[in-house]
Each structure stands twice: as structure tokens, then as C-alpha cells.
């Protein structure tokens, strides 16, 4: 019989086993894969820690549980015992993550273990279809959607802030006046991963590729100026970003969306996205 020994911190020698877990579901693991492929498993380079549920007596190199702890807490694999071990490790120190996000079964199971100490949550989004597109979009793309230039940061940033407030429910400028959020948006622009359609110098559509692994790109921050909604800009614009991922970058395009957002779900399905999993998010 295997005995749960707790969650252990992974290091570079564990890389093959970690890669096997990430490769098993490249769409669901995109956020973590994007970090690991660049930084390896060293916590300082990774910007967080990777934990494994460690079973004493296990002879297989296969990891029975895997969780990333950083700006977000992302459990990717684990049964109830593994999730308890992740919760135990998380509770040993002060919470630093802004959300708990990932495959719904793992997220909601881990939240059950953490809620007494970390709750109440600001919001629990328990049903978020995880969607993917591996081929050409099924609708025409917007030819005016293009990468944002670095010199356009100040024109792009208000739209990014408006999207964040609308989607997350908090102002990203709180705390430090927006310096860290501005730096993050500038980083996305510099990497060619922020896209927009401008009309009369104003952003009317925007979206970003938030995480980019060798196989998958995750689209985030899809937003249409409220005055321009109902014109199909969101569908055509998202199709343009997805086409860039599939055709120019050779990746699967992915995203996740709240199940209650019926217009967005319908739009993504028209583009050709299909559901491949289910995410959940706990916002603090």
C-alpha cells in the first residue's frame, strides 16, 4: 500500500516526469508549460514552485499529482489525497496567489481543502469551458486586427484596463498605481502577443496571447469597445488572433470562457473552437 508523504518541491532532475504530465494534456497545461519550457524547474527562474504529490513506496517515475504555485495556484493533476497534500503545503505560508485556476475537478477539490483558511473567495467560477482550435477559423478574419506596436502602449492600455475591470471585477491599477500591470501589458506588446483593431486612433477590439507553449497559445483578454458591440468585431477579431496562432505560429489556439457568457460561447463556436475540457477559477 502506498502512503501519502506530502507534497514535495520539484527540481530540474524531475523535468522528464513533469514534461510527461504537461504533454498528456497540452491545452489544459499551457499556462504551466509556457513557463517550464523557458525556465526549467528552478523556482527563481520559474517565478514559482512546482509541487508533486509524493507517495512513498512508489516505483514509477510517473507523477501522481502536479501543482504550480506562483502568481496563480494551478493544480494540473491529482486525486483527493494529492490535493490535500497541496493544500497542506500551501497553508504553511501566507497566500501570495491572486487566483486558483486550472482543470475544474482539481481546482474545486483543492478549494474544498483551502476554503476554511483562505475563504471566502471573491468569486468562484466553477464552469468554464476550455476550448481549442487546431485548424483554419470557420469565419472570415478581421484584416484590420494587427499586433500592437510598442509606441501604441498608451493608446492600448485604457482598453486593457477596461477589459480587466469588466472581466475580473477589480482595477489592476490598485496598489501600485498600475505600474506592474502597465509593465505586463508592455511585455505582451513587445513580444508581439497583443492585438487590436484601431478606429480613429481608438481601440475597438483587443485580445492577447497570454501563455504560449511550444504547442499551444492561450488567447485572453478578448474585449470590444461597448459602443461598437453587436457589429461582429469580437468574432472576426478573435478569429484573426486564432488564425495567427494556427497559421503563423504553428500552435493550437485555445481559450476558456465562463459558461454563463452565452454570446462569447456562441461566437467562439462559430469560429470553430470546440470544447476539450473544463476549467474553474477561484478569485481572491
CA dihedral 241, 253, 251, 282 (to 10 degrees): 120
**pLDDT confidence of residue 64:** 85
Dihedral class, residue 63 (left if φ above 0, else alpha if ψ from -120 to 50, else beta)? beta
pLDDT tens across the length of the chain (284 residues): 334 457 999 999 999 999 999 999 999 999 999 999 999 999 999 999 999 986 544 445 678 899 999 999 999 999 999 999 999 999 998 999 999 999 999 999 999 999 999 999 999 999 999 999 999 999 999 999 999 999 999 999 999 999 999 999 999 999 899 999 999 999 999 999 999 999 999 999 999 999 999 999 999 999 999 999 999 999 999 999 999 999 999 999 999 999 999 999 999 999 999 999 999 999 99
Closest by Cα among 233, 240, 238, 156 to 190: 156
- Which three cell numbers mark 50? 512546482
Q: How far apart are CA 101 and CA 34, in angstroms?
A: 15
**pLDDT confidence of residue 57:** 43
164 inside domain = yes
Final residue before a domain boundary, out of 84, 119, 154: 119
- Domain containing 20: what range? 7-119
13 inside domain = yes
87 neighbors 60 (Cβ within 8 angstroms): no
**pLDDT confidence of residue 62:** 74
97 inside domain = yes
141 inside domain = no
pTM of the model: 0.93
DSSP three-state, residue 99? strand
**pLDDT confidence of residue 2:** 39
**pLDDT confidence of residue 63:** 86
**pLDDT confidence of residue 61:** 60
State the total domains in the chain: 2
Same domain? 70 vs 165 = no
Residues in the chain: 284
- Beta strand 49-56 with 3-9 is antiparallel
Final residue before a domain boundary, out of 100, 119, 138: 119
**pLDDT confidence of residue 3:** 40
Same domain? 184 vs 82 = no
Same domain? 110 vs 222 = no
CATH number reported for the structural domain that contains residue 265 in this entry: 3.40.630.30
Amino acid at each position: 500500500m502506498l502512503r501519502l508523504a506530502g507534497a514535495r518541491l520539484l527540481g530540474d532532475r524531475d523535468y522528464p516526469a513533469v514534461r510527461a504530465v504537461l504533454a498528456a494534456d497540452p491545452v489544459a497545461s499551457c499556462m504551466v508549460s509556457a513557463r517550464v519550457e523557458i525556465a526549467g524547474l528552478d523556482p527563481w527562474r520559474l517565478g514559482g514552485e512546482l509541487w508533486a504529490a509524493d507517495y512513498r513506496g512508489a516505483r514509477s517515475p510517473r507523477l501522481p499529482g502536479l501543482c504550480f504555485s506562483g502568481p496563480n495556484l494551478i493544480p494540473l493533476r491529482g486525486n483527493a489525497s494529492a490535493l490535500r497534500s497541496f493544500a497542506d503545503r500551501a497553508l504553511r505560508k501566507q497566500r501570495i496567489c491572486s487566483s486558483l485556476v486550472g482543470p475544474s475537478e482539481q481546482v474545486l477539490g483543492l478549494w474544498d481543502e483551502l476554503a476554511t483558511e483562505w475563504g471566502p473567495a471573491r468569486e468562484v467560477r466553477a464552469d468554464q469551458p476550455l476550448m481549442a482550435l487546431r485548424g483554419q477559423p470557420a469565419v472570415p478574419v478581421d484584416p484590420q486586427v494587427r499586433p500592437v506596436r510598442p509606441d501604441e502602449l498608451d493608446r492600448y492600455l485604457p482598453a486593457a484596463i477596461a477589459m480587466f475591470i469588466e472581466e475580473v471585477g477589480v482595477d489592476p491599477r490598485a496598489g501600485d498605481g498600475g505600474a506592474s500591470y502597465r509593465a505586463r501589458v508592455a511585455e505582451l506588446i513587445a513580444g508581439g502577443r497583443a492585438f487590436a483593431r484601431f478606429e480613429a486612433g481608438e481601440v475597438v477590439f483587443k485580445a492577447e496571447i497570454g501563455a504560449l507553449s511550444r504547442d499551444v497559445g492561450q488567447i485572453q483578454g478578448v474585449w470590444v469597445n461597448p459602443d461598437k458591440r453587436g457589429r461582429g468585431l469580437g468574432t472576426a477579431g478573435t478569429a484573426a488572433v486564432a488564425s495567427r496562432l494556427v497559421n503563423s505560429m504553428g500552435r493550437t489556439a485555445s481559450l476558456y470562457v465562463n459558461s454563463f457568457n452565452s454570446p462569447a460561447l456562441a461566437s467562439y463556436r462559430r469560429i470553430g473552437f470546440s470544447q476539450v475540457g473544463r476549467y474553474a477559477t477561484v478569485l481572491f
